[in-house]
A and B are shown apart, each in its own frame.
Chain A
């Protein structure tokens, strides 16, 4: 966006009322435009005056030790390396793919119910191992508030299958992950997104044609440093025409803290 186009949004950006996508567009512009950063900073300063003008409410005395202890205890933990988490996710995904369940899942529409159930069980087993990798490596017990997983199933007569997981952490960045298989190359690029109950969408990423292997498989993971993913209940994969081809319900909570 140009400065002229993005400036129109600055008052709402400062007041915190832009919708998520608009806010992200503004921030992308601010990342490289010093003049606009200065202007938004001034407007944010003015907005914060509103907060300081409120009649004060007094927090209870016990809140201070709780806050200080919370920050100190999180800071005392070894620094979490985002890359290592995403790498762990992808490594686990490859191990899952190696089980061969993906290929079974992709063709399950033509297979018997028994085979479909076997595939489902394999997937669940794989995912339990997958969670264990994450919990064991980077998410200390108690910091992983919520791990949600779901099966990506084709919509209508579409092809493909997959699994999706959303990890919600109390102290660390949240992570969304999807493994897909059996996607036709002609439908690429595929866009993976999180969808909340109120229809809000948040992009996880794009799977391009070159990212799909022979079986139409790919994995994608994204670390969200400024987002809290707890409100998202579905993961959808859309093809190049924007049609949803795979969808997973990840609304069911699966408490993994301390697992």
Chain B
């Protein structure tokens, strides 16, 4: 991160090599075009540089910090732009049953993520996807499904905690 702070090219390249694919993927899946995904990727790394001094490794992982930046920028853009179609429920459909053999080391994190999500029911996956990828607020989900707002919030929290616990288990050797 010190290298990123001063714009050290090797540090930026290293961060790019590690995270460009998930960041680009986020942009591509949420915003729906290669052009928007490229813009988002550049904005995320510029924002990461601007905020590098605020990153505190004792508070969370670098991947979480960077993906939170990416997600916030993508959702802000999604909300701002008229005519951007909200993505369909990408998560359930796109999680493959098994990893293909040619996916290499950088995708290990994806493998871990997919296995962590296996702890969820399809309904829980769909709920998280509507919020996280669709940008729907708890209130919008509650109104759309005709269930109390408190119930949606409770379910979102419970689903996140399940993912969190499963992810911790998967990360352990």
Contacts and interface: CB of A to CB of B under 8 A. Distances in A.
Interface residues on B, range: 35 or more
Nearest to A8: B153
Given A12-B131, A17-B131, A46 B22 contact: no
Contacts, number: 182
A53 B68 contact: no
Nearest to A69: B9
Interface in B59-113: 59-61, 63-64, 67-68, 70-72, 75-76, 80, 90-91, 94-96, 107, 109-110, 112-113
Contact of B59 (A19, A37, A67): A37
Contacts of A56: 21-22, 25, 107, 110
Contacts of A53: 91, 94-95, 110, 113-114, 116-117
Contact of B75 (A16, A48, A49, A225): A16
Interface string A39-59: 001111111111111111111
Contact of B6 (A52, A57, A73, A75): A75
A17 B75 contact: yes
Given A59-B20, A63-B20, A43 B164 contact: yes
Contacts of B41: 59, 63, 67
A17 B13 contact: no
Interface in A103-126: none
A70 B128 contact: no
Interface of B: 4-7, 9, 12-13, 16, 20-22, 24-26, 28-29, 34, 37-38, 41-42, 45-46, 49-50, 59-61, 63-64, 67-68, 70-72, 75-76, 80, 90-91, 94-96, 107, 109-110, 112-114, 116-117, 128-129, 131-133, 135-138, 153, 156-157, 160-161, 163-164, 167
Interface of A: 8, 10-12, 14-19, 37-38, 41-60, 63-64, 66-68, 70-76, 171, 225, 228, 231
